[in-house]
Structure 1
Amino acid sequence: MSEPLPSLLLVGCGQMGGALLNAWIAHGLEPSVVIDRHREDLSSPHQVVRALTDIPADFHPAAVILAVKPQKARPVLEELARLRPDIVTDAVIVSVMAGLSTSTISAFLKTNAPTARPAVVRAMPNTPSAIGRGATGLFAGNAVTPAQKTLCDRLLSAVGATAWVHPEEQIDIVTAVSGSGPAYVFLLAELLEKTAVSMGLAPDTARLLARKTVSGSGELLERSSEDATELRRRVTSPGGTTAAALAVLDAPDNCPRILREALEANVLRSHELAS
């Protein structure tokens, strides 16, 4: 059996925080504390508390996972530093919030712990993490030790693949590509289904074909040693029906331009959230 994960403080247990927590418990997690106003209970030896003031005095986590909305980060971080400067000093702070830079997070913490040198890691997992098929990009701030970086990799590897990026600005591209990426894939399935219905297929048939096409293609891509370009070519006979459709989709002013504009809008929003 693999070594259990050390104790964690999870701040926020919504969809992403809950998915991460479930995976960590399944992989073996030392007694941990979750701060959440809505979750009712948690299996022993873990516990749920309602506020930072309820963190047990003798609880010393190896990592703090921040899974709250970016707009709520400042008061949470400032209160954590005021109440538990020991945690801010000793634990690695892992943010799964979009937009907020390591320097901004550190500044919030240093408001009430001015002598601290917070070790901050930014992580951007995605929703397939809920089934262990996630993809997470990570960036480590200057104060993060090799041991803390290894711990963060263990934590996020529990829900899928991990990739470390540098410089920090690249985490915003990660957010645009993989963090938000599942929504683009779901939109494709949605549009395939709706368009098929509008062209005459029965709704249940359209849904089945659209979902199986998207999920099956993803699984084929996962298992294949070939890249996406080669797999696409294998489906596309010269002068055939697929080629006719791709001539529309892959035209410079269609999908290539629209996708780039979408990713750029995503990155811009990350910058806005950080300001």
Structure 2
Amino acid sequence: MSTSITFIGGGNMARSLIAGLVRQGTAPGNIHVAEPVAGLRSQLSTDFGVKTYASASEAAAQGAVWVLAVKPQVLRDVCASLAEIAQAQAPLVVSIAAGITSAQLLRWLGGTGAVVRAMPNTPALLGAGVTGLFATAEVSAEQRGQADTVLASAGRTVWIEDEARMDAVTAVSGSGPAYVFLLAEAMEAAGIAQGLPADAARTLVVQTLLGASRMLDESGEAPAELRRRVTSPNGTTQAAIESFQGADFEAIVARAIDAATRRGQALSAAND
């Protein structure tokens, strides 16, 4: 990107996006980061050569694109402190705060502006993430491209046209890595309970999940079809699948996704 970018917050997700942008050719001098913790500012400056600031307003004044990378609980106060600059400067505002709506962001930033909501997930730290994006009507095609460039630096992007579905994005992909980690944890413990050495159980689980994910990504086949192919009639896999389904596995997952979606909606209400 040739456009100047300001990150409000220099934590792990901001760091992953900055790393991706620099890796893909964005000049470090075009990246500005507001971060109150001196140690984090020093690391960002040393590692990437970006410009860092203790003051959010000072950093915001430098950017045509703002990436709001602070916790949802403090975002209202941060936006209020930047409202005057936002109205004078009219930046593209990209928020990665879960559960905070575009209407809330616009209200806190002074009433008008171009806002993109983004929901990345933690594999973005490895450049292997996925981000759901929603743009308000005020966001131009050029600004959509800018937002996509920022978030695509850490993985794939998916545009969502109905903002109400962003809580579902959070529930599926934002929280999703933790579901996989929980499955890995349970599989590893079960393998050890069956007599496998701990290091062998860990390797078997990790590589199985990695390989299965690659098959999902690279084969182009639906998950149900891949499952069918590996499930031989009356075999070991069928026995395990029937055990899962006997415990209402699909309903458990559906309830979990619904709980996460509702929690995202509650975060919005709690921070209004």
* Sequence identity (%): 37
* Alpha carbons 1:23, 1:132 under 8 Å: kept: yes
Is the Cα–Cα contact under 8 Å of residues 120 and 143 in structure 1 kept in the other structure?
yes
Distance in 2, matches of 1:235 and 1:7, equals 50
The separation in 1 between residues aligned to 2:141 and 2:198, in whole angstroms, is 53
Per-residue CA distance 1:39-89 (angstroms, 9 max, x = gap)? 1321475211112244385x2x221001111010011001011355433x2
Deviations 1:202-261 (A, max 9, x none): 11111111111111111121111211111111110011110011011123x521111111
Deviation at 1:167, TM superposition (A): 1.1
Q: 1:21 aligns with which of 18, 21, 44?
A: 18
Question: Quick one: which amino acid aligns to residue 190 of structure 1?
Answer: E
1:46 corresponding residue in structure 2: 50
Aligned partner of 1:254 among 248, 253, 259: 248
**TM alignment of 1:49-60, pairs within 5 A:** 49-55=53-59, 59=62
Please, which of 154, 170, 188 is the counterpart of residue 175 of structure 1?
170
Within 5 A, what are the aligned runs for 1:160-171?
160-171=155-166
**Secondary structure of the residue that 1:169 maps to in structure 2?**
helix
Asked if the contact 1:5–1:155 (Cα under 8 Å) also holds between the matched residues in 2, the reply is no
Gaps of 5+ in 2: none
Q: Indicate the residue corresponding to 1:32 in structure 2.
A: 31
Please give the residue correspondences for 1:148-227 in structure 2 after superposition, counting only pairs within 5 Å.
148-227=143-222
Using structure 2 for the length normalisation, give the TM-score: 0.91
Unaligned ranges ≥5, structure 1: none
Determine the structure 2 residue equivalent to 1:145.
140
- Tell whether 2:265 aligns with 1:271: yes
Query: Cα 1:32–1:270, aligned 2, differ >3 Å: closer, same or farther?
Result: same
Structure 1 segments (4+ residues) deviating >4 Å: none
Task: Give the Cα separation in 2 of the matches to 1:84 and 1:96.
Answer: 17
Between Structure 1 and Structure 2, the one with more helix by share is: 2
Name the aligned partner's letter for residue 191 of structure 2.
A
CA gap 1:75/1:153 in 2 versus in 1, 3 angstroms: same
Partner of 1:77: 79
Q: TM-score, normalised by structure 1?
A: 0.90
Calculate the aligned-residue CA RMSD, in Å: 1.7
On the 8 A contact 2:16/2:127 being kept in 1, the answer is no
Q: Is the 2:87–2:113 contact (alpha carbons within 8 Å) kept by the matching residues of 1? A: no
Cα distance in structure 1, aligned partners of 2:195 and 2:3: 55
SS in 2 for 1:262: helix
Q: Aligned pair 1:231/2:235, yes or no?
A: no
